[in-house]
Amino acid sequence: MELLYITLGVVIAILIFAVVSFLRIRKAVTDLNQEEFIQGYRKAQLIDVREPKDFAAGHILGARNIPQSQLRQRYKEIRADKPVYLYDQNGARSGRVALFLKKKGYEQLFQLQGGFKKWTGKIKSK
């Protein structure tokens, strides 16, 4: 019975952590569908947060690659005074990147709903 309570406590703690993380990310970044994303990204900084091999395989035309794994060292390459449009493969990583940037003082943060895998616009491959 004690093991059941411990397991239940762990599951509840994980759920609470997931909900709090979700709410923090929702507060840090604005989700945009593809049409909304297209309307704004040309006037903004378009950042692909996937790893270089994924970026090389195909990316949104005009995007810069700053992988999440390099963000702590490279975030100053992104201007804080201009909108930042983020995307990753499926929409999970870009939210965490937005949360990091928000903590560093970035205000205008947007992410592509569904990520690159749902993108049907122009792409570039190397």
Q: What are 25-38's pLDDT values in tens digits?
A: 677 789 999 999 99
Please compute the mean of the pLDDT values over residues 72-98 and round it to a whole number.
94
pLDDT of res. 25: 63
Residues 117, 14: Cα–Cα separation, whole Å: 28
Please compute the mean of the pLDDT values over residues 73-92 and round it to a whole number.
94
Q: Which CATH superfamily is domain 29-124 in?
A: Rhodanese-like domain (3.40.250.10)
Q: Is the dihedral of CA 70, 74, 75, 81 positive or negative?
A: negative
Q: pLDDT tier at 87 (50, 70, 90 boundaries)?
A: very high
Note if the pTM is more than 0.75: yes
Q: What are phi and psi of 60, to 5 degrees?
A: -65, 135
Q: What is the pLDDT of residues 5-28, one digit of tens each?
A: 889 888 988 888 777 776 666 777
Could you say which DSSP state residue 43 is in? Answer: T
Residues 126, 111: Cα–Cα separation, whole Å: 24
Average pLDDT, the chain: 90
Residue ranges of domains in the chain: 29-124
